[in-house]
Structure 1
């Protein structure tokens, strides 16, 4: 069967072959297939993704909790229970007593339908998704700076031909390994690679220059580089004057700053800041990429905007081999945020509080705009409303909020207060174990639909494997619940393609315009970039060649003050902790930990600590240690390594229960995009007793 990987945002294509042996055993083989994004490459996660799809733990029928244990029920019983509970809760507490919580790995069709389901079938304002924790900083920064948010402003094929590359807070070698050949080829062609990261990651080890920045100080580092670019006369004045606005205020701010003070704040020497800035500034072409290391902070929005300032100041955008890119984490992190899962959005990247947008989408859906609810709140703020019992029931699809939210103990405590929790998943995740009703959904091998990769290329994922047991597709479940809630006329779908065709119309004229994209085109062309406003339009691979997406066509600079961390280290909590990913696992690990080949590579979680810090706090390599913050504790295995800053610990994010690192992380939110401060919190470490 032809399909594509369900994991990261590259969305590599592959062929999975299922065969029966003479002894009746089923075997699987996986081969990468040619495609424009990964160029026919496949990483270890993709090679073994089928293992979770065929795992014995797959949920095959609905489960209702009875006296603390799950019992099998029919779909009719499940839908009737949902109808009864949702109806009675809304009758007692109001429409907004229901919340909907989605995921960044859902197909475009499921993401679109989930937003419509929340607002039309349930009539609630409260919907958001785990992509809030992935891309919201870069998304909001892109909209403010460029006028539109798309992961990459230029195609991946530009990378090997550029002269200077900055990778800020992104460990591509482990998170998107099939992209690494683009960067190694660029280096072979003479490109200079600068990596900004507190750790010596597999990516940083390939760098020509590694800036080991203090966690949370990216905005200050970008200010230092901008100051050097101005002092050295490396700003592209023609580009600034002709295509941007707001530069004068930024220039005044930088002139009043001290490079020495910025170096002290960042932990990066003046010499290295100057070296990086001059190399990027003097290169004829250049590309700059950010990811969660920059974005998952309480100043993530402004930190990304400051890196965008660097791109604009040097004029490295809107032309060949130049651009900015946000390296999306989740499989459909890009498409998932374009079509209505976010609290403030309607399909096509329209805004729910814009009257024209509301009127257009209401027309597509066939209802009065007055019947559309208003803006809700972000993902973590939904958990606060759950805790306060303003949200009394939650419908979760394709997400595991107990593991993925910060301040996880608080989140778990809140979910335990719900009157009714429904989780749609393939497995009994940590969140599903708490549910009153669990309903089984299809895997990537069974669920056809479109996904949008990190460069804005819409891809069709084929899926030929029959549904196992009583499993239904996401869109079927949402449609059947909506029908049980008395809204059948709004959910008449018989296929994912029907939903996509409605999505096309809903996105028409919006910032993320898919109208010219069809399943037939995707089958023939492999993938099509958005925006694509007409069927004869080729799609825009490179953005902003003529103008930016603001009404006046100009990009916007912004002044970014030095960031104050929401939580500093002190005598009680003397170390910074940052979080991230490892090669073999994905998100909260619900799928990848059910792949024997992947789980064997990282059976348990761990903490990286510098040898000097390990001696200071009397912990040994290989022993169990307890990490504690002001919010909670976790127990992990100790790894002593000199590949990390002495004041910083690193813990991966793929485990739950007692190894859930988000029991420690800070729930403080970015004021612009409501991103939590995952990447830095104050902790202490001691041997586990």
Structure 2
């Protein structure tokens, strides 16, 4: 009887709640956790929930963002139709009218102001196919040199450092599966517990296996709580701290002389510089006691294997590239690279931060990590595209420098794809002013973001649940994101939008794709023989194998789990060490009497980038519905700040109002504000526009500020 009842109940439930399952990947961080969305319908409403799917990276895990990722995709505020601004208000128009508006506006701008007056601003959250297509579109359909992307603000320092040192940038030189077996780990400026929580178990297993973990961070984050040793560095002094570690390693005999002799150049110059330094001076610069520097160096030097990981805390500085290079000097000096359980990992931030920087979105780049200034590279790609290599534009400028050109009216038209530069860029007041000067701005997005509000035309994009394509995770593992949910309203995939614009501009023959796989097959050929070689990867293989690590040069190749085992990617096969000064070329702001504190920025676990997607998720927004200022109790008392009260934070560029969070987990000379909020809580209003001379990364992590309770404003007046 019970079995009959259960059978009847299940049959009735299935009738009342028909179920659909959509395979996908999380749209947020670089782990790219595999997920499936279950959609159940009954008579009154639909219910959704996410489930993890086993995969080589997250092993079926997903975090709170992945759990609630579907919420923004089904949000009522999604842009569903093309919207044209008429007398300051957005009005629905047809796709053909929207495309004709783009055609007439871009053609007029290029006729009056020159080809390079129209720019393209891309994203590191789009698929490899779309990143590849966007670079091709800029150079073939628009013939402009001005294309860059928001990944310039995230991964450029690590990418340039790895390229300069190793000759190639693949986010992680090993695989995540090697982490539990290494003996010592340095986590520099990375808060994986909040930013990439699904890879934390790899580090926990390493610790269980006896690994010694060293964390470099001005805050005692949840990641720092994993550490055996926390080096609470002063913001902006990571390069100097690395010099201190190098000094101890070299002077106390931990250098691997055989490895250096056979596989590295520049060691003697580095040795001469660091041995001339005074460890007490480094303590004074960094705020890290000399004894802790010695302990960390000795532990890293003594162990047989070791890994170093960096992220935005080290990289988002005006000497971020140099700071990463100095940490790579440590790996090379100790021979901990290119072998089992030893290597370097750049903990990529955005979902496709690795792949999006490989195939042509960057100002100086062509697909396969080729250089746009290399004649052979230009000729190869031009042949793949079927164009004259002499007609390909040259090198452009970085994302923030494009905005400066908008402010100077050198760039007067912009195609903006899935990015929100008003919130993500430094010197946000200048960014907003510059965008308002444009003659024509078209934004492709899911929502009317803070930047899209300024657009003349908004085009509705598809979400991660609807847009199929490949992504490349933090390991360099290419994965296929299945996405079969129908597009809502009249929204289109980014690749379709790019192709449609190319068509109306008269270049449709170069963009006649019918599906993402068509684009990927062209990308494979374009990348062939390049540093980021995808030629051996196919959709069929990805579906069967779950992910393939590049380089994968031939269809039968299994992919490359560990790079640099026998040689580095420079022509001579050797890595290049470089002297890194304690004092950066671009001076950083120092606290003074007027602005006595150092401001650093970062993420919280419930939000992603500028918050456009996660702030549309009720479950995520409820966890952190407003920004905050983390401040040490002694510092709070000094400036009259109470816990949980509104405070004003000011720099030389502007001011914001956030709520205080008094915490002993931060340095006394430092305050922290997350960057996921806009308008009066946009922390990038406070950040200067100074750039790293090597990679053009803004210095988000070091700004001189002052704080005061908002209640004091009235008494001042």
TM surpasses 0.5? yes
SS where residue 373 of structure 1 aligns?
A: coil
Alignment of 1:235-274 (within 5 A): 235-274=255-294
Residue number among 647, 656, 681 corresponding to 1:634 in the alignment: 656
1:666 aligned onto 2:675: no
Q: Which runs of 5+ in 2 are unaligned?
A: 1-21
- Does the 8 Å CA contact 1:216/1:563 hold for their aligned counterparts? no
Q: Which runs of 5+ in 1 are unaligned?
A: none
In structure 2, what is the equivalent of residue 601 of structure 1?
623
In structure 1, what is the equivalent of residue 343 of structure 2?
323
1:64 aligned onto 2:84: yes
Q: Deviations over 1:365-387 (max 9, x none)?
A: 00101111010000100010000
SS where residue 579 of structure 1 aligns?
A: strand
Residue number among 150, 162, 168 corresponding to 1:130 in the alignment: 150
Instruction: Give the deviation of 1:566 after TM superposition.
Output: 1.9
Alignment of 1:513-592 (within 5 A): 513-564=533-584, 565-592=587-614
Residue number among 478, 482, 488 corresponding to 1:462 in the alignment: 482
Q: TM-score, normalised by structure 2?
A: 0.96
1:20 aligned onto 2:41: yes
Q: Deviations over 1:496-529 (max 9, x none)?
A: 0000000000000001000000000100000001
- Does the 8 Å CA contact 1:130/1:379 hold for their aligned counterparts? yes
Instruction: Count how many residue pairs are aligned between Structure 1 and Structure 2.
Output: 688
1:507 aligned onto 2:527: yes
Instruction: Give the deviation of 1:243 after TM superposition.
Output: 0.6
- Does the 8 Å CA contact 1:126/1:376 hold for their aligned counterparts? yes
In structure 1, what is the equivalent of residue 638 of structure 2?
616
Q: Equivalents in 2 of 1:558, 1:365: separation in Å? A: 38
In structure 2, what is the equivalent of residue 200 of structure 1?
220
Q: Equivalents in 1 of 2:425, 2:504: separation in Å? A: 31
Q: Equivalents in 1 of 2:382, 2:335: separation in Å? A: 40
Q: CA RMSD in A?
A: 0.6
Alignment of 1:301-450 (within 5 A): 301-450=321-470
In structure 1, what is the equivalent of residue 128 of structure 2?
108
SS where residue 406 of structure 1 aligns?
A: coil
SS where residue 475 of structure 1 aligns?
A: helix
Which shows bigger deviation, 612-621 or 99-108?
612-621
In structure 2, what is the equivalent of residue 4 of structure 1?
25
Residue number among 183, 203, 220 corresponding to 1:183 in the alignment: 203
In structure 2, what is the equivalent of residue 683 of structure 1?
705
SS where residue 415 of structure 1 aligns?
A: helix
Residue number among 316, 322, 330 corresponding to 1:296 in the alignment: 316
SS where residue 174 of structure 2 aligns?
A: coil
Residue number among 474, 483, 492 corresponding to 1:472 in the alignment: 492
Instruction: Give the deviation of 1:194 after TM superposition.
Output: 0.4
Q: Equivalents in 2 of 1:146, 1:623: separation in Å? A: 48
Q: TM-score, normalised by structure 1?
A: 0.99
Q: Equivalents in 1 of 2:440, 2:683: separation in Å? A: 27
In structure 2, what is the equivalent of residue 279 of structure 1?
299
SS where residue 413 of structure 1 aligns?
A: helix
SS where residue 669 of structure 1 aligns?
A: coil
Residue number among 671, 677, 680 corresponding to 1:655 in the alignment: 677
- Does the 8 Å CA contact 1:299/1:563 hold for their aligned counterparts? no
- Does the 8 Å CA contact 1:103/1:398 hold for their aligned counterparts? yes
SS where residue 689 of structure 2 aligns?
A: strand
Instruction: Give the deviation of 1:401 after TM superposition.
Output: 0.3
Q: Equivalents in 1 of 2:399, 2:50: separation in Å? A: 36
Instruction: Give the deviation of 1:563 after TM superposition.
Output: 2.5
Q: Equivalents in 2 of 1:3, 1:255: separation in Å? A: 52
